[in-house]
């Protein structure tokens, strides 16, 4: 099944938009109640949903070898994801079965998980392997005291985690291949913002704001409200062309390549997006902390050159620094400002119009999925 257009068709669509001063538009308008960005009840329902959907946790490149692990909190739950001795990725609740302390912290590579409190030791498969002074725990069945597993699935170069019984396959119903095995991760960062997670998500789903918000950063290289927007499954792809794409007009169609000529942003329902930039790709995961606070986790992976090898590290790092220090900061500030503005009670709802097709698609799916929990 073809999920989205191929690169040459995308280039044709962009040229048509440039020539006709048009852009991809949606067919409907969405009115989102402002209370949904601050309500504790709504927040609790969204956290419950995040636990019952396959949600991206990290790229496969974050677990490059046997014993590689990533431990962090997802949808309010401390988890650890690890590549086992058999190469299979597994996920567990990050809590010792003795007294509940976390058995892993941050990222690294290990042969076993040892609880720092009393040294109960677990294999990479989660099984309890060793209890110091085991005689002090008569009758304890080690076989039933392994780390508690949650569902992990490796797909398209990403690791998805589902914490509880799923209400749907979410992003996995329609999912393209993203990463090649040759690509490696070169950076992981986190930051906190005083803004609802949806306000941050919405900044990456439309190009209507590029000229206004990014007038001195992205806009000098980009175009004003010219995007290709494709919905597939619960997900969307939003394409942001650069002005230099016009250089491809003099190249035969079959020889055109879009790399470096546009940014592909995949909105992975509900709380992640993938930005494919000139020299690197970012996986951005929004972890809601409260109705008004969000932790953003960013994984950066090097893109491949034409010969199939990763781009030079310094090139990827420069690419990442430009994106981080310019447009991304402006998006974060916009989301924070909107959160503050909610207190004015000026709006009962936000109106998302035809230029915000992917945002409408997102809210339609979010409401439909939340209804399944009611």
Q: What are the residue boundaries of the structural domains of the chain, listed by start?
A: 7-52+182-373, 55-165
Class of domain 55-165: mainly beta
Backbone torsions φ then ψ of 295, nearest 5 degrees: -100, 125
Name the fold adopted by 7-52+182-373. Naphthalene 1,2-dioxygenase Alpha Subunit; Chain A, domain 1 (3.90.380)
- Which residue reads 């792809």 in tokens? 237
ω into 270 cis (within 30 of 0): yes
- The pLDDT score that the predictor gives to residue 263 is 96
**Strand 77-83 relative to strand 235-241: parallel, antiparallel, unpaired?**
unpaired
Q: Which of 161, 154, 179, 153 is nearest to 281 (CA)?
A: 179
pTM (2 d.p.): 0.95
- The pLDDT score that the predictor gives to residue 3 is 85
- The pLDDT score that the predictor gives to residue 1 is 44
- The pLDDT score that the predictor gives to residue 176 is 80
Distance (Å, whole) CA 235 – CA 83: 27
Q: How many CB atoms lie within 10 A of CB 66?
A: 16
Sign of the Cα torsion 341, 28, 201, 43 reads: positive
- The pLDDT score that the predictor gives to residue 327 is 77
- Which residue reads 């932790």 in tokens? 295
- The pLDDT score that the predictor gives to residue 175 is 81
pLDDT digits (tens, 9 = 90+) for 270-324: 999 999 999 999 999 999 999 999 999 999 999 999 899 999 999 999 999 988 7
Question: Tens digit of pLDDT per residue, the chain (374 long)?
Answer: 468 999 999 999 999 999 999 999 999 999 999 999 999 999 999 999 999 999 999 999 999 999 999 999 999 999 999 999 999 999 999 999 999 999 999 999 999 999 999 999 999 999 999 999 999 999 999 999 999 999 999 999 999 999 999 999 999 988 888 899 999 999 999 999 999 999 999 999 999 999 999 999 999 999 999 999 999 999 999 999 999 999 999 999 999 999 999 999 999 999 999 999 999 999 999 999 999 999 999 999 999 998 999 999 999 999 999 887 667 899 999 999 999 999 999 999 999 999 999 999 999 999 999 999 98
Under 8 Å between Cβ of 278 and 252: no
């Amino acid at each position: 099944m073809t999920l989205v257009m191929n690169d040459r068709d995308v280039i044709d669509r962009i040229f048509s938009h440039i020539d006709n001063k048009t852009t991809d538009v949606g067919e409907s308008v969405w009115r989102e109640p402002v209370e949904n960005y601050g309500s504790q009840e709504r927040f609790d329902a969204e956290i419950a949903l995040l636990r019952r959907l396959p949600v991206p946790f990290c790229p496969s490149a974050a677990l490059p070898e046997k014993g590689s692990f990533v431990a962090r909190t997802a949808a309010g739950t401390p988890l650890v994801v690890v590549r086992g001795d058999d190469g299979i990725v597994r996920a567990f609740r990050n809590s010792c079965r003795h007294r509940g302390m976390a058995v892993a912290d941050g990222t690294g590579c290990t042969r076993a998980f040892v609880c720092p409190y009393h040294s109960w030791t677990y294999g990479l498969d989660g099984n309890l392997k060793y209890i110091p002074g085991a005689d002090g725990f008569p009758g304890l069945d080690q076989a039933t005291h392994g780390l508690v597993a949650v569902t992990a699935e490796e797909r398209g170069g990403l690791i998805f985690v589902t914490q509880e019984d799923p209400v749907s396959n979410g992003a996995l119903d329609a999912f393209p291949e993203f990463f090649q095995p040759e690509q490696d991760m070169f950076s992981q960062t986190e930051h906190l913002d005083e803004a609802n997670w949806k306000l941050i998500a919405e900044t990456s789903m439309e190009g209507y704001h590029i000229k206004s918000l990014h007038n001195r950063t992205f806009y000098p290289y980009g175009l004003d409200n010219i995007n290709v927007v494709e919905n597939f499954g619960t997900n969307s792809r939003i394409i942001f062309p650069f002005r230099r794409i016009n250089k491809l007009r003099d190249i035969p169609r079959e020889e055109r390549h879009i790399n470096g000529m546009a940014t592909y942003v995949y909105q992975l329902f509900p709380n992640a997006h993938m930005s494919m930039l000139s020299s690197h790709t970012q996986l951005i995961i929004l972890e809601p902390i409260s109705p008004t606070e969000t932790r953003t986790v960013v994984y950066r992976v090097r893109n491949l050159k034409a010969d199939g090898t990763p781009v030079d590290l310094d090139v990827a790092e420069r690419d990442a620094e430009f994106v981080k220090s310019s447009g991304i900061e402006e998006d974060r500030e916009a989301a924070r400002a909107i959160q503050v503005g909610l207190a004015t009670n000026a709006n009962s709802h936000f109106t998302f119009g035809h230029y915000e097709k992917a945002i409408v698609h997102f809210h339609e799916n979010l409401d439909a999925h939340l209804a399944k929990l009611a």
